[in-house]
Structure 1
Amino acid sequence: MNFDYNLENVNNRIADLLTVLQYDTEEVQHFTITERILINQERAAMMDFKNYLFRELDYDKVRFYRVPENIETKIQTILKNVHFKNWQPQNKDYE
């Protein structure tokens, strides 16, 4: 899956990944510990790219990582459920 690395897409992806982790914590657990680690690895990679965009990190230091397709499928399913239910996290401290 290709990803268009620009600030809006990176910010949206970081928000989506945080949302699914919060949903997984507060509602129904869908992810294994390993899957949660991989999701957080992608979040960190997206934050690296964002830091590069703001000239806080050199390009050669940016990590590019995307979760495997099976985890991406779970992420997309959970996001659909979150939007359908208009779910909001109870704990806003994650942000």
Structure 2
Amino acid sequence: MKEEIDERLVILHNVLVYCSQVDRLSDGKYNVFSLVERIFINQERGALFSQLAEEKGEIFPHEVRTYKVPEQIERKIKLTKEQIEATNWGGFTKDQLLKTQES
């Protein structure tokens, strides 16, 4: 389960960073995810981090959040992930991301 959570966190982080870079290059217009969509993505990230915290014994089971982005946003995440892979944009690896999260 931890591997699946880690992989999902990397995907969500990378699509948000990619979105920010694309938006910055387009005069701040939302070309990938809208502000509300970014909030939804971050809600899922928070839920995933709470699941990891529970696995480590840092929080109680009743404190674990579960959230998954709506299907419409999930489709955009998949398309953005494909764009990232097609352009060799790079992004963060699991080791890089989780190392910064532990610091």
Greater Rg over alpha carbons, structure = 2
Query: What is the alpha-carbon distance in structure 1 between the residues aligned to residue 74 and residue 64 of structure 2?
Result: 21
- State the shift of 1:42 in Å: 0.3
Preserved contact between residue 50 and residue 64 of structure 2 (Cα < 8 Å): yes
Distance 1:59 1:12 in 2: 22
5+ unaligned residues in a row in structure 2: which ranges?
Answer: 24-30
* 1:16 alignment counterpart: 11
Describe the superposition over 1:18-55 as per-residue Cα deviations: whole angstroms up to 9, x where unpaired: 00000000025311100000000000000000101111
The alpha-carbon deviation at position 79 of structure 1 amounts to 0.4
C-alpha distance in structure 2 between counterparts of 1:86 and 1:60, whole Å: 41
Return the TM-score normalized by structure 1: 0.85
1:47 to 46, 49, 63: 49
Provide the rounded CA distance (Å) in 2 between the counterparts of 1:88 and 1:27: 14
* Stretches of 4+ aligned residues off by more than 6 angstroms: none
Could you tell which deviates more after superposition, 11-20 or 79-88? 79-88
How many angstroms does 1:88 deviate by? 2.3
Task: Give the structure 1 partner of residue 85 of structure 2.
Answer: 83
> Gapped runs of 5+ residues in structure 1?
1-5
User: What is the number of equivalent residue pairs in this alignment?
Assistant: 87
Is the counterpart of residue 68 in structure 1 residue 41 in structure 2?
no
TM norm structure 2 = 0.78
Partner SS, residue 89 of structure 2: coil
Partner amino acid, structure 2, of 1:72: E
CA RMSD, Structure 1 to Structure 2 (Å): 1.7
